[in-house]
A and B are shown apart, each in its own frame.
Chain A
Amino acid sequence: MNKLKTIQEALDMIKPGMTIMVGGFLGVGSPELLIDGIVQRGIGELTLIANDTSFPDVNYGKLIQNKLVKKVYTSHIGTNPESGYQMHSGEMEVILTPQGTLVEQIRSAGAGLGGVLTPTGIGTVVEENKQKIEVDGKFYIVEKPLKADIALLRGAKVDKKGNVYYNLAAQNFNPIMAMAADLVIVEADEIVEVGQINANDVMTPHIFVDVVVKGDR
């Protein structure tokens, strides 16, 4: 099964109105060419799931800067002023979620769970309109799973089968999102032959990955 595609072939799979999740933390560990391609093609009306909304000119922050996002699930928008403007003007819906909850919502979608119970947000606006459950005398919020049509990820080294190795702090949301989307596209800094990543060092097993594209790092 050939998973290697060109950036243009991968972009053909991304349609307006889709829900996409993008790996990275303030743009670190995010796929550059795929995001630039979406901006170039103007693929809009997207629902974005990402840890933050980055900076206006950095990676997935550009999706918002170019008004391609109608709804975003994220934990932080403070570094991208455009997110705040579009939220206040009503152009973009913003669902703010605590970071640890967001990652568990994504993980639970990929892990076949009906969501997670978390104490984070109890006694705050985060618990509003959500089910709460008491377990052994302690209250938890029920947070539902969050999945996407497509996950756009970045790996440092990816073999031709799709096994992924991440570098340093570029790991963040990537391995979790790899489990939570119908189609998973990984942009690789380096594509290597099968066997060149030791099986012990594989951080995302190839079965989660559908498409591998070459980045420009």
Chain B
Amino acid sequence: MDNNRIKEIIAKRVAMEFKDGNLVNLGIGLPTLVANYIPEGVEVTLQSENGFIGMGPAPEPGKEDPDLVNAGAQYVTVNEGAAFFDSSISFSIIRGGHLDFTVLGALQVDEKGNLANWMIPGKKVPGMGGAMDLVTGAKKVIVAMTHTAKGSIKIMKECNLPLTAKGQVDLIVTEMGVMEVTPRGLLLKEKNPEFTLEEIQKQTEARLIVSENLKDMEI
């Protein structure tokens, strides 16, 4: 499947989770695309952890403001009704239970809802930035990612990379399906009709529990 198509499927499906009035933080990369697919009639406020709510799209060329960037240092705009604050308030929003959703990518995620997305020992140590706070504090944590990393498995029985947070992930959305973290393990609730159950399980280390109400993913 074409890479852009994969991203579109994932971003579109994640956006369907939001309810009118939700406050949402979108991570860098694929999760940022989710903003393009928020359904009509659903008003979502986006938070940028460097200190504002009400983030809008990228500015027109020539209209960039050096003091207005997102958490990835890209120029953005704000919508009417936006608000700026300092980093302490920003993370009070995040940790304090005021954020409805955080959407972020993963290096690994497992059937207990553990997430690893901030370092590969000996190879890459960028740091956790705001990810640990986001995953610990948001009411709902959605992992939005390609099902495998070019074939190497990311949905594990147990993560073996250093964790970002323990047992905090609620939902995993990939181009193959939608999996909910439950006390019994990963419940496959929706699947992309282009894949068979066997194909999906083969790309997943954790054993998938197939929902009795398994639906086709809207793609």
Contacts and interface: CB of A to CB of B under 8 A. Distances in A.
The residue in B66, B95, B129, B167 that gathers the most chain A C-beta atoms within 10 A of its C-beta is B129
A164 to B, nearest CB: 12
Interface stretch (A5-13, A40-48, A119-127, A208-216): A119-127
A88 to B, nearest CB: 8
Interface string A170-187: 111111100000000000
A101 B133 contact: yes
Contacts of B94: 100
Contacts of A29: 67
Nearest to B115: A124
B208 interface: no
Interface residues of B, number: 41
B163 A123 contact: yes
Interface string A80-107: 0000100100000000101111011001
A78 B71 CA distance: 13
Contacts, number: 137
30 contacts: A25-B69, A75-B129, A77-B126, A77-B127, A79-B73, A79-B126, A84-B124, A84-B125, A96-B125, A98-B130, A98-B131, A98-B133, A99-B128, A99-B130, A100-B130, A100-B137, A107-B88, A120-B133, A120-B137, A122-B136, A123-B163, A124-B163, A124-B165, A125-B163, A126-B128, A168-B52, A169-B84, A171-B85, A172-B51, A172-B87
Interface of A: 25-29, 51-52, 55, 74-79, 84, 87, 96, 98-101, 103-104, 107, 118-126, 156, 167-176
Given A121-B132, A169-B51, 9 more contacts: A28-B67, A98-B130, A100-B95, A101-B132, A103-B88, A120-B165, A124-B166, A170-B67, A174-B86
